[in-house]
């Protein structure tokens, strides 16, 4: 494997019905091609040596002899290749015929897996020719002069990853064999198939494969018969599909007249990370004893991945934007609505800075008031200008509150902060952490006290990315009565605010778009000589899109820094240099470990996506753990 990835292929060769020599020659062509691609396992369609549509020709001894002879030729070829090859052919066992998958590598036949579930409907009559796997109890068969393991309980492994096999109809039954294969340790399932085409069937097939790969936390490689099969009654389109844990990551062109080779990389480490967290994963393990068959590690040098990774893993795809954003807002609103009603608070109080996070929190409050049938005036937004507040953010904060019709207050923190500096004998010209945190804590004190005055609760505005980095003042903006954004990372905050801007009136949209264009800043240091923001967060801690990427793969899957760096270089190769990515990964790891003490006492807030850092929910970590080492580039 390469950084936890195994390279696999689904192959759809050109085929002639009942011409085994021709078919194996075409199979061999593709086997040689995948050697160049550094593929570790290649899977061909069901009965790919003979053709699936031979019908009563399967009763002909000549065809069965030809198939075995062709297998011998393919076996010889594999002496000079490294990939594991899975092909389909009929195999005779004790006067019965079985539809099987034959596994070869290094000049040897490693195992034979018979089909378990045989269709016998208006389109297929496999029971006319073949016996199901349950029809025999033999554990080995003699083929090509070798005694070979035979059965459905075979797992193939090189010690780093394992795979199991099922055939076509096996996937379509209530409990597919692949479910047991996965529970017993198969990371990837290979399916040799011959599925014909009907209106709507392809979409259903894709959903079936996605769901099975998700249910099994596995990779799924599907190779189905195509060009060359008989079209007497039905047509085969040549489906090659590769899925990983619920998502199709590669697919073939259907109805192609050319042979096809679909290659992709499956992240076995990611699959195992999900299984490790699922404590019920092996509860349904059958009593069947699985046999492990060793395959040779391909020992390929590091290769460039065939797939790319999204720079923003927390952000939903554009195709589902409206649905996803409405769902996220519904979760945030649902959480706040319950807390607002339960506390019987007259108001909710929050600070409005003119930045992204407070803007999103305000939008959630407005939507919550609307859902509860409350007057938006019960929302008290307070702008609290300080030493670093710029005209741009101040104007956006004021204009947005007016536009949304909430109760607006303005309370400057300058005089109170200067008085505090005098009380603790701090030089106001010394712009250090005391200077910055004094302002943050003064703002929080104002919010808390106004909430006491107005029978309200303080709504936190800090987001998930800030919690990960510890980019919050302890007992300052770190604290609230309910933190609506605590499960929303910065990249998703931006996405939600942009979405919301297109649902409001033109004036509100203009304000939100300017908020989106404003550099992220706590505005705790004075503005520059032009009155613009001087303290830009991403200049100090690094780009949030990188930190969100690091956060996702470390917390969601437990990946090592080496693996995270590998993925980040893949995702951001056109955006950041390797040195820059490593620099900010080092910053992320250092801050993430050092700032756990802040996360250990954060307010309640709704989980929105696949991860959260609440100490009561997803994330429990000692505050004094040693940071992981950053890998070499």
Burial 312-342 (b: 16+ CB within 10 A, else e): bbbbbeeeeeeebbeebbebbbebbbebbee
- Report the relative pairing of strands 219-224 and 188-193 from DSSP bridges: parallel
Strand ranges of the sheet holding 291-294, from the earlier edge strand across to the other edge:
247-251, 240-244, 219-224, 188-193, 162-167, 154-157, 291-294
Nearest C-alpha neighbor of 39 from the set 309, 247, 298, 239: 298
Distance CA 480, CA 475 (A): 9
Burial 371-390 (b: 16+ CB within 10 A, else e): eeebeeebbbbbbbbbbbbb
Pick the catalytic residue from 20, 43, 46, 244.
Answer: 46
Nearest C-alpha neighbor of 288 from the set 179, 177, 153, 156: 153
CA atoms within 13 A on the CB side of 45: 31
Q: Two tokens at 611?
A: 């991860």
**What's the burial of 598, exposed, middle or buried (CB within 10 Å: 0-12/13-18/19+)?**
buried
Distance CA 23, CA 536 (A): 64
Q: What DSSP assignment string belongs to 563-577?
A: HHHHHHHHHTTTTS-
Do 350 and 362 form a contact (C-beta atoms < 8 A)?
yes
Pick the catalytic residue from 54, 168, 216, 365.
Answer: 168
Distance CA 624, CA 464 (A): 21
Q: Is 168 a residue of the active site?
A: yes
**What's the burial of 143, exposed, middle or buried (CB within 10 Å: 0-12/13-18/19+)?**
buried
Q: Is 365 a residue of the active site?
A: no
Q: Two tokens at 281?
A: 């994963």
Q: Two tokens at 521?
A: 């800043």
Q: What DSSP assignment string belongs to 488-553?
A: --HHHHHHHHHHHHTTS-HHHHHHHHHHHHSPP----S---TTSS----HHHHT--HHHHHHHHHH
CB atoms within 10 A of CB 272: 17
Q: Is 69 a residue of the active site?
A: no
For the four alpha carbons of 466, 467, 471 and 476, in that order, the dihedral sign comes to: positive
Pick the catalytic residue from 115, 311, 490, 563.
Answer: 115
Q: What DSSP assignment string belongs to 128-194?
A: GT---GGG---SEEEETTEEEEBSS-EEEE-SS-EEEEEEGGGGGSSS-HHHHHHHTT-SEEEEEE-
- State the catalytic residues: 46, 115, 168
């Amino acid at each position: 494997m390469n950084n936890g990835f195994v390279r696999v292929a689904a192959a759809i060769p050109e085929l002639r019905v009942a011409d085994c020599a021709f078919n194996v020659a075409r199979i061999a062509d593709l086997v040689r091609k995948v050697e160049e691609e550094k593929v570790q396992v290649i899977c061909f369609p069901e009965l790919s040596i003979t053709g699936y549509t031979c019908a009563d020709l399967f009763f002909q001894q000549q065809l069965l002899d030809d198939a075995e002879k062709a297998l011998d030729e393919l076996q010889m070829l594999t002496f000079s290749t490294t990939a594991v090859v899975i092909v389909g052919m009929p195999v005779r066992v004790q006067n019965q015929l079985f539809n099987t998958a034959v596994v070869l590598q290094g000049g040897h036949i490693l195992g034979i897996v018979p089909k378990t579930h045989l269709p016998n409907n208006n389109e297929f009559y496999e029971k006319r020719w073949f016996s199901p796997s349950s029809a025999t109890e033999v554990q080995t068969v003699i083929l090509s002069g070798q005694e070979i393991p035979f059965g459905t309980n075979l797992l193939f492994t090189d010690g780093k990853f394992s795979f199991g096999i099922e055939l076509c109809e096996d996937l379509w039954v209530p409990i597919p064999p692949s479910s047991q294969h996965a529970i017993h340790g198969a990371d990837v399932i290979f399916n040799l198939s011959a599925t014909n085409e009907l209106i709507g069937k392809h979409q259903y097939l894709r959903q079936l494969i996605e769901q099975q790969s998700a249910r099994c936390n596995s990779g799924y490689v599907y190779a189905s018969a195509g060009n060359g099969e008989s079209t007497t009654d039905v047509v085969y389109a040549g489906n090659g599909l590769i899925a990983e844990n619920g998502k199709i990551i590669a697919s073939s062109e259907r109805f192609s007249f050319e042979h096809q080779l679909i290659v992709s990389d499956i992240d076995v480490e990611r699959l195992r990370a999900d299984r490790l967290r699922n404590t019920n994963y092996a509860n349904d393990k059958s009593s069947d004893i699985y046999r492990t068959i060793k395959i040779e590690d391909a020992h390929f040098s590091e290769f460039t991945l065939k797939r790319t990774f999204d720079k923003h893993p927390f952000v939903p795809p554009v195709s589902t934007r409206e649905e996803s954003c409405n769902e996220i807002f519904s979760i945030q609103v649902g959480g706040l609505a319950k807390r607002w009603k339960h506390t019987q608070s007259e108001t909710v109080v929050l600070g409005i800075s003119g930045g992204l996070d407070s803007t999103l929190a305000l939008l959630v409050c407005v939507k919550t008031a609307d859902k509860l049938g409350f007057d938006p005036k019960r929302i008290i937004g307070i702008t609290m200008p300080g030493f670093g507040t710029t005209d741009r953010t101040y104007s956006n904060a004021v204009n947005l509150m007016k536009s949304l019709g909430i109760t607006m207050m303005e309370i400057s923190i300058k005089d109170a902060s200067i008085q505090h500096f005098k009380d603790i004998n701090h030089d106001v010209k010394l712009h250090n952490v005391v200077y910055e945190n004094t302002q943050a804590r003064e703002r929080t004190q104002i919010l808390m006290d106004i909430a006491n005055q107005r029978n309200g609760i303080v709504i936190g505005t800090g987001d998930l990315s800030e919690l990960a980095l510890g980019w919050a003042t302890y007992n300052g903006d770190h604290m609230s009565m309910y933190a609506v954004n605590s499960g929303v990372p910065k990249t998703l905050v931006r996405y939600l605010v942009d979405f919301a801007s297109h649902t409001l009136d033109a004036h509100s949209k203009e304000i939100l778009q300017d908020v989106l264009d404003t550099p992220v800043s706590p505005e705790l240091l004075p503005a520059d000589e032009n009155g613009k923001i001087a303290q830009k967060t991403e200049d100090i801690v690094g780009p949030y899109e990188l930190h969100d990427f690091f956060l996702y793969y470390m917390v969601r899957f437990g990946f090592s820094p080496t693996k995270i760096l590998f993925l980040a270089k893949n995702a951001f190769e056109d955006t950041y240099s390797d040195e820059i990515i490593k620099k900010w990964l080092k910053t992320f790891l250092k801050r993430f470990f050092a700032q756990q003490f802040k996360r250990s006492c954060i307010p309640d807030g709704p989980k929105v996506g696949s991860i959260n850092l609440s100490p009561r929910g997803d994330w429990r970590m000692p505050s004094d753990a040693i940071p992981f080492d950053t890998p070499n580039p």
